[in-house]
Amino acid sequence: MDLAQNNSPTPSNLHLWKSFFPLEASNRYLDYLLTLSTLKQGQITLFGNTYPTPRLEAFYGEAGLSYTYSNQRLAALPMSSILKEIQQAVIAKTQQQFNAVLINYYRNGNDSNGWHADNEPELGKDPIIASVSFGTSRIFQLKSNAGNQRQSLLLEHGDLLLMGSGMQLHWKHCLPKRPKVLEPRINLTFRRIMYP
């Protein structure tokens, strides 16, 4: 599904594959991800105040890689065979050479991810990000940096979203709170770390 006909820097830079992972595989992946003891609540510093992040996170990738954002440095944990299996499917579909994944665990609709772009220096000049969702459906929002365009997507169990060229340079994204949502969601954002 091409979502970006009128809303982004190029028509091909935002692509959503609904139910990319079949239901049985998505259920199996969700069950596994929910058992990860590596998921931890990080910290975020805003205007000099430090708060717990409103979600749990874990960072996995090739040996020696690390990722620094929101003033925290995460060293990559070694990927399990299940994470490698998910990554391989995403690489095969998108033809992007991802080598790391940030896992976000939203325990319920009070967990969220604020407006940001994935534009840290280690992701290179024009980061390409693939996002896989498991669990309950949540609204994912995008807005252009110029402020004149917005897009809202429902990300559901097994969906794959590719944020292609320009999306981290010209747009921000977020996962807003939805207090009525009681069920968990796990999102995996695959990235290419350019240097350790």
Ligand X SMILES: O=C(O)CCC(=O)C(=O)O
Residue 166 DSSP label: T
> Looking at the chain, how many residues does it have?
196
| C-alpha span between 94 and 162 (Å, rounded) | 8
When asked if residue 187 is in the footprint of ligand X (CB under 6 A), the reply is yes
Closer Cβ to ligand X, 8 or 113, answer by number: 113
Q: Which of 15, 173, 178, 192 contacts ligand X by CB under 6 A?
A: 173
10 Å Cβ neighbour count for 179?
Answer: 9
**Rule CB under 6 A: is residue 168 a binding residue for ligand X?**
no
| Cα dihedral: 7, 9, 11, 12 (round 10) | -120
Interface with ligand X includes 53 (CB under 6 A)? no
Would you tell me the crossing angle of helices 81-94 and 23-34 to the nearest 10 degrees?
130
Quick one: how many helices (H) and strands (E) in the chain? Answer: 3, 14
Q: Does 87 bind ligand X (CB under 6 A)?
A: no
CB of 126 to ligand X, least distance (A): 16
Q: Does the protein bind ligand X through residue 111 (CB under 6 A)?
A: no
Site for ligand X in 118-157 (CB under 6 A): 118, 131, 140, 155
The least distance separating ligand X from the CB of residue 135, rounded to whole angstroms, comes to 10
**Residues engaged in binding ligand X (CB under 6 A):** 102, 104, 113, 118, 131, 140, 155, 173, 175, 187, 189
